């Protein structure tokens, strides 16, 4: 069975959206910054309703927010507090980025349904798991290992964001592998605690 051009575009857009959403679970503002810069460079086209994300004011705002977010995660105690805000923000960012990947000809109801379920759900899963990992790191190492964890999250977010835009299906595969690994870690941790 052969997929039509429209179906292929939807699959690729959904793959990019899910991978970008996973990136948002690691760092909220890094993926929107990468998407904004990619749009400004002409590497990708955003949904017309969300084309504002590909403007210089948006890139500046995302860049400033990303710098503040990254820096805050290196401050002890503030990193754990930031996780309480990051979880809902990552869910919203993942939803928006997924919606931005779809072309303007898709019905808004379908676009937002896919964005909320696939994008928001993925970002929520990754974000809650990384928050739990930071909590575990804080409890077991008194926060000493948190900067290492923060650096890993930053690298994962940036790398996955770039791959998601350049190679959406590879980005999706990486995002699925990361989500599965994170969920297995969380399951093992819960089993050890019980």
First to last CA, the chain: 48
Q: Indicate the pTM of the whole model.
A: 0.91
Contact 160, 178 (CB under 8 A): yes
Q: What CA–CA distance (Å, rounded) separates 151 from 133?
A: 13
Convert the pLDDT of each residue in 148-160 to its tens digit: 999 999 999 999 9
Residue with tokens 């805050």: 72
Cβ burial of 51 (10 Å; 0-12, 13-18, 19+) is middle
Q: Which residues contact 47 (CB under 8 A, 6 or more apart)?
A: 99, 100, 101, 102, 103, 104, 111
> What does residue 4 show for φ and ψ, rounded to 5 degrees?
-75, 165
Convert the pLDDT of each residue in 169-183 to its tens digit: 999 999 999 888 888
- Lowest average pLDDT, out of 24-28, 164-168, 182-186, goes to 182-186
What's residue 188's pLDDT? 85
């Amino acid at each position: 069975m052969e997929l039509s051009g429209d179906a292929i575009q939807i699959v690729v857009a959904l793959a990019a959206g899910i991978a970008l959403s996973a990136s948002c679970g690691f760092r909220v503002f890094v993926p929107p910054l990468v998407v904004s810069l990619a749009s400004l460079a002409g590497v990708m086209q955003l949904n017309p309703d969300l084309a504002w994300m590909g403007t210089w004011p948006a890139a500046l705002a995302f860049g400033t927010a990303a710098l503040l977010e990254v820096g805050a995660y290196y401050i002890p105690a503030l990193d754990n507090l930031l996780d309480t805000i990051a979880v809902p923000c990552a869910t919203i960012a993942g939803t928006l980025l997924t919606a931005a990947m779809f072309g303007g000809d898709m019905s808004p109801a379908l676009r937002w349904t896919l964005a909320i379920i696939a994008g928001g759900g993925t970002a929520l899963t990754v974000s809650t798991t990384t928050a739990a990992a930071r909590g575990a790191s804080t409890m077991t190492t008194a926060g000493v290992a948190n900067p290492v964890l923060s650096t890993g999250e930053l690298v994962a977010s940036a790398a996955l964001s770039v791959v998601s835009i350049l190679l959406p299906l590879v980005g999706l595969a990486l995002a699925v592998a990361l989500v599965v690994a994170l969920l297995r870690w969380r399951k093992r941790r819960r089993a050890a605690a019980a």
